[in-house]
Chains A and B, each alone.
Chain A
Amino acid sequence: MRVFFALLKKEFLQIVRDPSSIIIAFVLPLISIVIYMYGINLDAVKVKVGIWNNDATPQTRLLTEMFNHNAYVSSVVYDSRQKLREDLVHSEINAALYIPADFSEKLARGEQAQVLAVTDGAVANVANYAQSYISTIVQQWLEVALGKNNTAQPLVTVTSRFWYNETLNSHHFILPGSVAVTMTLIGILLTALVVAREWERGTMEALLSTSMRKSQFIAAKYCAYFLLGMVAMFFNIWMCVAIFDIPFRGSYGVLTFVSGLFLLTALGIGLLVSSVLKNQFLASQAAVGIGFLPSLMLSGLAFPVASMPAFFQGITMLLPARHYVTFIVSEFLTGTVAEIVALNALYLSVIALLLGVAVKRKTASRLE
């Protein structure tokens, strides 16, 4: 035990003396949460529509007007068809609407009039929004222009309600979810370099010549960075709740427990990378490669896991961030749901345990 505490003390001294781990633990969550809050918005996308109106009547003028009455749509009327096309190609506008010369005439005769909408499909998600905004606005205009009685009243309508996040505010989902990405990065970064550094500087050899046991060495590393990581985690969660007002309906005890498990997995990945590669240069490459993109793209934060092909859904099961995103979003917005907590805690413990065993096996106890 004395050896363990001596090692622990050494780790803490290293943390305190090198400001970069403190910066990782506090500045990184701050930067990323501000970006997620103010830089990312998945609610509804704003769309810019260019309109070419070849049928200048009061009715079509009302239609082009209506494209400016929506918070998510702005429009520009073009005189030249050529210019409209160019701006669409250059992504100055997201969609173009062409109103043909016979538009009002056809409507007056009670025929079906046509308009053409062209979107910039290269940015597929924005094009999707553009499509539906244009159709909706044209429909709204039709009701106004022709009077409600002339358009058929639908016999069935549907109302949508969103449980747990009634206003469908995407920040309620992104901010808690982002803790998973940030903490994966922090956990891996904190530990990825530490064992490799010992090898590179030769202090590992010094340690190996003492009476220290392998498990004590590993436990001291886990412990020191676990404490630092938990502080960073609380800081991150505190910012979500206290500064950005994300509703928290769960239990802090459960949150701490599962977050601790999750942190252990991230630290485990870092330590494993570090002890396998024994080289800071490679360890940091691996840490950034493994830590950032997969946890952002495959955890369910940016893209829904349920829509992925089955094989790739299987791969995401290996990703601690995926289980943690599911858990933390649910803990925040729904509250403690026993099934969700138990299942994800189980996955995380299994991953943490496997990583711990791998770290122990890969930590060389003697010089090669």
Chain B
Amino acid sequence: MWVRICALIKKEFIAFWNDPKSRIMIVWLPIMLLLVIGPAITLEAKNIKLAVWDRAQTLESRELVARFAASPRFEIVRMAESLPQLRHWMDTQSVQAGLLIDNDFSDKIKRGETAEVLTVFDGRQTNSAAIMSAYVQQIVAAYAQELSADVYPRVAKAAVDVEIRNWYNPNLEYKWYLQTVLIALIAMVMTLLLTALSVARERETGTFDQLIVSPLSSFEILVGKMVPPLLIVMALVVVMTVIVIWGFQVPFVGSLWLFVAVMPFALLSIVGVGLFISSVVRTQQQAILGVITFQLPAALLSGFLSPVEDMALPFKIIGKCNPLYYFINLVQGIFLKNMNWTEALYNLWPMMLMAVITLSLAGWMFNKRLD
């Protein structure tokens, strides 16, 4: 039995490896994706192009504008002279934000009243608009506090100091999070591509019939189809992890052994999905359709764009039945949080369950096709 399985595994490896174009696809496509996407993405807003319309032109207003100019997040690109002008710049995306200071700005401050400044943002970029607005609040609040200290030096201020510590990622580098997520995402895409199409391809070229009439049992075919993609993606995960650690400088705080030990079991659930797709479709076009129909919801609902806990109930359920959700938890947990064995098992068992179900279904479908 093992001799037969080994022969099949060898044949699968040759099929993946002998074509130079296929080699390029397996090795360079995932690495390129990681190298191009990894360093690019961030949710921070930087270099925000700001237009200022300072109608007050006083010491205080200039001081406030200077605060924005000094901030590394903002870049004052234009001085506006009217609202339509600002509107036009915003329409054409020459600026992303506008700061409007009214005539009576300094008068109000001197009278001890609250002076209000208005900021407008380009709401078309919804996610950065909210972040930009938070930055503006911070800058204005800091300025207001200094002004108060000047104006009322002796007012006793009862205050609460909220000391904040961020575990695992002290400066909240969003990239650390995304780059570990990216390892899981790319691993999933590659696993599906290597497994879901493999049987469909053999069916189209007719070699699957030859496999069926050979002495191989459906279990042996399953193992033979399962092991090579698993080993290839394992190797890819290791390479991507090395790139993320040394190339992107994300600290790996967990146990490398644990990481390597859980990876095959975690990947098995996705291999199972791929082989299941492969066992039900007849052509490669249908197989690729199956891959997309699984992969699109799996990636979008895995929680990296918005947390699974916030989703509407049906989507939350889909999210919790999603192997990628647990896969991301595992990669990110071991990478950044030093997850231990018991916590890893907690994320691993749903994936194992999925692997058992999908692989049995796939084996059963192979069997059915044998009749």
Contacts and interface: CB of A to CB of B under 8 A. Distances in A.
A288 B291 contact: yes
B177 interface: yes
A359 B152 CA distance: 72
B240 to A, nearest CB: 13
Nearest to A128: B172
B367 interface: no
A158 B96 CA distance: 17
A62 to B, nearest CB: 13
A304 B127 contact: yes
Contact of B288 (A111, A160, A189): A189
B127 A170 contact: yes
B173 A124 contact: yes
Contact of B158 (A45, A107, A333): A107
B37 interface: yes
B310 interface: yes
A125 B122 CA distance: 21
Given A35-B300, A158-B140, A293 B197 contact: no
Nearest to A172: B126
Contacts of B288: 189, 193, 284, 287-288
A261 interface: no
A57 to B, nearest CB: 14
Contact of B92 (A279, A281, A339): A339
A127 B336 CA distance: 14
Interface string B129-166: 11001101100110111011001100111111111111
Interface string A295-317: 01110101110111100100110
A303 B22 CA distance: 31
A293 B354 CA distance: 24
B247 interface: no
Contacts of B125: 173, 300, 304, 306, 329
Given A39-B301, A119-B167, A166 B306 contact: no
A159 B155 contact: no
- The SS class assigned to the B binding surface is helix
B255 interface: no
A253 interface: no
Contact of B115 (A113, A156, A330): A156
Contact of B164 (A46, A131, A172): A131
B35 to A, nearest CB: 10
Nearest to A41: B306
Interface string A130-151: 0110110011001000100011
Contacts of B36: 294, 298, 312, 315
Contact of A114 (B64, B117, B140, B161): B161
A36 B201 CA distance: 32
Contacts of A139: 160
A42 B123 CA distance: 13
A303 B42 contact: yes
B210 interface: no
B46 interface: yes
B284 A193 contact: yes
B126 to A, nearest CB: 4
B144 A24 contact: no
Contacts of B119: 158-161
A208 interface: no
Interface stretch (B1-9, B185-193, B222-230, B355-363): B185-193
Interface string B313-339: 011001100000000010011001100
A355 interface: no
B168 A116 contact: no
Contacts of A110: 156, 158
A40 interface: yes
Interface centre among A88, A161, A170, A284 (most CB of B within 10 A): A284
B128 interface: yes
B112 A155 contact: yes
Nearest to B21: A282
Given A288-B189, A289-B189, A340 B92 contact: yes
A31 B91 contact: no
B303 to A, nearest CB: 9
A175 to B, nearest CB: 11
A88 B39 CA distance: 28
A157 B285 contact: no
B231 interface: no
A215 interface: no
A155 B160 contact: no
A368 interface: no
A161 B121 contact: yes
12 contacts: A89-B337, A117-B162, A124-B172, A124-B176, A131-B164, A131-B172, A138-B162, A288-B292, A297-B40, A297-B41, A298-B40, A312-B39
Q: Which 6 A-B pairs have the closest CB atoms?
A: A165-B123, A121-B169, A121-B166, A162-B123, A312-B40, A173-B126
